[in-house]
A and B are shown apart, each in its own frame.
Chain A
Amino acid sequence: MPSAQKDPVLVVLQLTGGNDYLNTVIPYNNPLYQDNRKAVGIPEGQILAFDDEYGFPPYLAPLKKVWDEGKLAIMHGVGYLASPRSHFRSMDIWHTCEADKVGTEGWLGRVIREFDPRKENVVTAVSFGPCLFRALSVPGVPVACVAGALETYGFLPNIQEPTQRQQMLERFARMYAPIEGSGVMEYLGTTGLDSLKGADILKVAPSLYSSTVQYPNTSIASKLRGIAQVHLAGLGTRIFYCDHGSFDSHAGQNPLHASLWTAVSEGLDAFMTDLRQHDAADNVIVLMFSEFGRRVRDNGSGTDHGAAGATFVLGDRVKGGHYGEYPSLKPEHLVQGDLNPSMDFRGIYSTILDKWLKINPALIVNGTYEQSAFLH
């Protein structure tokens, strides 16, 4: 499978909980920013300005470095019409691309099916999180879900003696032999064997890995390190998924936002450095999204659920810069006090599908959406 190593790879980092757009990409010259952010506004002296209009809060310093290298694309005003402002419903819409009804297929699940319709590689997609993200979920499409450390990933991790566990896993494989035509037992058999095979393949990754890069001691950094390990092992994985949160900063926003973004931006810095040191960065892009942005006016210590947000794509093959328009902060342009979305998230997916993963976007996102030119 080493030839697959240079196939384009997508890493999705989900910022769960609704990241505050205004305090992430700060329109520091706009007087309406300070007016609306009396409690949670970042003081002007602390803002890391990266051009005449926008700046990052100080804790995004590692991300500013990526911007300075021209490898960070910022998509402005991202969302969709009639944002429901509910975490779960919004996340569902991002995951399934169905804004009007409850979708049953995740957009990346469909991508996996396109890549590997005969399920020849059960680690085409690897997810790092407590459960299968809906974005990856399509019935019958295997996804390896690593809940804890990659080193202990697999069935029956608490059987400690290696030979004992090996024996038991071999029995597991025999007990799950799919009996054709047995309906649910056959389905259980295939699913069990797929996960077992995935675990078997993935377990080689940590042992093949060596690196001088020190990842920070955070949960997101260890997920990104796991992604680096699997990517560097050349197992043919095309889609990686991980999450960090919760960005739901209704109260006490500033310290919370700072610690979350410090973890994300430092983790990403280590990840990209690691890949570059192994000459394995040029076929990877990272998509970073949140289900919505937050209310323009703060509530005295935090911010409530809003609409439009910012989405980021970064990597060596990304054409850095601003894409789309930062939505107006003027009261007459707000929708229920929120930024009005100016870019549909499905357009970003479409660009990635079309220009990076080379898949017809219409098959995946249920329609045609305007693309942006953020990929070389």
Chain B
Amino acid sequence: MTYQDDIGLMAHLMRRAGFGASRDELEARVAKGYVATVEELLNPEAQPPVDPYELLRYQPSALLPGGQPPMGNVNYMYYMVTTKRPLEEKMALFWHHVLATGNSKVDNYDQLLEQIVLFRHNGMGNYRDLLLKIAKNPTMIFWLDNNQNHGTAVNENWGRELLELFSLGAGNYTEKDVREASRAFTGWTFETKIPRLPYGRFPWKFEYRPEDHDDGAKEFLGHRGHFNGEDIIDIIVQQPACARFICRHLYNFFVADEPQVPAWSLEPPRDPAAIDAMATAFRESNYEIRPVLRLLFKSDFFKNARYRHLKSPAEVVVGTLRLVGGYDLPKPGYGELSMQPSYMGQDLLNPPSVEGWHTGSEWINSGSLMARINFVADQLGNQSLPGVRAIIDRLKAKTILEPDELVGECLDLLGPVEVGADTRRELIDQARQWGRLSWDSGPNAQIAAKRATEMMQLIAATREYQFA
């Protein structure tokens, strides 16, 4: 492999396992090596966490943001933009996609952020433990009405989604299994909420009420016993469908776009061998997530999947802000920045339903496409941002750039971005209109820098740039 290939591969890894990286960071990581970088990402404890006090000094109301946007979004956005543990944060986003819980019903960003913290801490650990933790998470309990699931009156909302969306997928259980799983989770609720007025919101806490639990005999996925919720989770993770379902989610999120989840019981995976390999690793490690991610990031199917994933709005916004820099402090204006993914169709902490977001091409409509392109172009056009300056400085080091060199260098420094021949020809034709750029004098350098940012904006407007 050439050095340029190494940079391209590292950029791919960082876009998927994180939110992209500057060229300086990519070069440092290439020097360290691909495998070592994967290990660093998988073991985030070696890197410092985001300092919440920095956030609170500037945006105190981001601590307990209540029920209205944008302060909850500011909190979440700040973590994603500044984290030094990119995979930890990306996995939190992954679980937010899968175990989707939203403010539409919860009406409490304090609780939703607590759930994101849970994902940050447990997102790469053991999946069975994570399921148990989310089953006891008061925000999830409220979202899926398990507080209304009583020994004498079963509410199936949580029991059904646990099987359909969080573990097995449609077609891998019966209606009776839904009923029996729901019975097993009766009595799993949270402490009576303290009224909000006059002192504000109080945190919600899990509570198990044995007197409200149906302890009768149950039959679930072929097993019989007086099951409680934890037994149900143990039986779920023994199902071959479970490992395959979660691995398909990981593939869709990290490797390449799959059909939407409701179609999974009908359409086979685009790469069945990849899902098989991941699912085997998952089961063999007793549902540890880290070994599956290690396999994934080191696999050929991952390395060969460059630009086969349409960026989610969170990836567009966070990736851009990390590239252009200057957003390390939660300055005024962060509120508007943190709402940008909503304008592109991904209202973070508020997915449209328990199904989470539909991904891939469903991110794109005539409004969201313009919002994506204009947001990125707006940032790349701002020469006062350190990341934009750093790119211009690298171009400037070449002193003179012919049109095709300008295009090549800009594509390289923004990715490297891979574009089709037709797109490249259009970009070069545009650069030819400007002629040769030169940094040999003050006025020339000014023009050259301006043209370079315009070229970057045009690249951000391409179809290819919508992919990661």
Q: Show the binding face of A for B, using Cβ within 8 Å.
A: 84, 86-89, 92, 102, 122, 127, 130-132, 137, 139, 142-145, 147, 154-159, 164, 167-168, 171-172, 174-177, 183-185, 187-189, 191-192, 194-195, 198-199, 246, 248, 299-300
Contact = CB atoms under 8 A, between A and B. Distances in A.
Interface in B291-350: 310, 339, 342-345, 350
A188 B104 contact: no
B353 A195 contact: no
A92 B463 contact: no
Interface string B94-132: 000000001111010000000000000000000000000
A172 B423 CA distance: 9
Nearest to B370: A195
Given A142-B366, A144-B366, A171-B430, A159 B454 contact: yes
Given A89-B105, A171-B429, A184-B361, A191 B422 contact: no
A340 to B, nearest CB: 22
Contact of A156 (B355, B366, B369, B461): B461
Contacts of B378: 158
Contact of B367 (A143, A188, A189, A300): A143
Given A89-B105, A127-B367, A156 B373 contact: yes
Contact of A188 (B105, B433, B457, B463): B463
Contacts of A198: 366
B426 interface: yes
A192 to B, nearest CB: 6
Given A137-B365, A158-B378, A171-B458, A147 B104 contact: no
Contacts, number: 127
A185 B463 contact: yes
Contacts of B105: 84, 86, 88-89
A86 B104 contact: yes
Given A131-B344, A248-B68, A145 B370 contact: yes
Contacts of A192: 369, 463
A217 B113 CA distance: 37
Nearest to B69: A246
Given A88-B102, A130-B343, A159 B366 contact: no
Given A156-B373, A195-B366, 9 more contacts: A131-B342, A145-B367, A156-B457, A167-B430, A171-B427, A171-B430, A176-B463, A183-B361, A187-B361
Contact of A155 (B368, B370, B427): B370
Given A86-B105, A88-B104, A168-B430, A131 B345 contact: yes
A132 B343 CA distance: 8
B101 to A, nearest CB: 13
Contacts of A195: 366-367, 369-370
27 contacts: A86-B107, A88-B102, A88-B103, A88-B104, A102-B355, A132-B366, A132-B368, A142-B366, A145-B367, A156-B377, A158-B377, A158-B381, A158-B457, A164-B454, A167-B430, A175-B422, A175-B462, A184-B257, A188-B369, A188-B463, A192-B369, A192-B463, A195-B369, A198-B366, A199-B370, A299-B197, A300-B197
Interface residues of B, number: 48
B426 A188 contact: no
Nearest to A172: B461
A90 B1 CA distance: 55
A145 B458 contact: no
B352 interface: yes
Contacts of A130: 339, 342-343
A303 B374 CA distance: 39
A191 B454 contact: no
B374 A155 contact: yes
B88 to A, nearest CB: 28
Contacts of A127: 367
A87 B426 contact: no
Contacts of A87: 104, 107
B371 A131 contact: yes
A238 B377 CA distance: 31
B457 A132 contact: no
Given A131-B367, A147-B343, A167-B430, A159 B457 contact: yes
A175 B423 contact: yes
Contacts of B277: none
Given A145-B366, A194-B366, A131 B343 contact: yes
B360 interface: yes
Contacts of A187: 361, 364
B364 A188 contact: yes
Contacts of A199: 370
Contacts of B461: 155-156, 168, 172, 175
A88 B457 contact: no
A89 B344 contact: no
Contact of A157 (B353, B374, B462): B374
Interface in B12-70: 68
Nearest to B462: A175
B466 interface: yes
B356 to A, nearest CB: 11
A177 B420 CA distance: 12
B120 to A, nearest CB: 25
Nearest to A84: B105
B212 to A, nearest CB: 23
Contacts of B462: 175
Q: Which 3 A-B pairs have CB atoms at the shortest separation, nearest pair first?
A: A88-B104, A145-B367, A132-B367
Contact of B373 (A155, A171, A185, A189): A155
Nearest to B106: A86
Contact of A147 (B68, B361, B366, B371): B371
Contacts of B370: 145, 147, 154-155, 195, 199
Interface in B67-107: 68, 102-105, 107
B362 interface: yes
Nearest to A164: B454
A102 B353 contact: yes
B377 A139 contact: no
Contact of B310 (A154, A159, A184): A184
Identify which of A131, A164, A248 gathers the most chain B CB atoms within 10 Å of its CB.
Answer: A131
Contacts of A158: 377-378, 381, 457
Interface string B259-282: 000000000000000000000000
Interface in B381-421: 381
Nearest to A144: B366
B32 to A, nearest CB: 34
A34 B368 CA distance: 46
Identify which of B339, B426, B463 gathers the most chain A CB atoms within 10 Å of its CB.
Answer: B463
A159 B451 CA distance: 10
Interface in B215-252: none
B371 A92 contact: no
Contact of A131 (B107, B310, B362, B368): B368
A189 B371 contact: no
Contact of B362 (A139, A157, A174): A139
Contacts of A157: 374
A145 B377 CA distance: 18
A67 B167 CA distance: 56
Contacts of A132: 345, 365-368
Interface in B421-464: 422-423, 426-427, 429-430, 433, 454, 457-458, 461-463
A173 B230 CA distance: 56
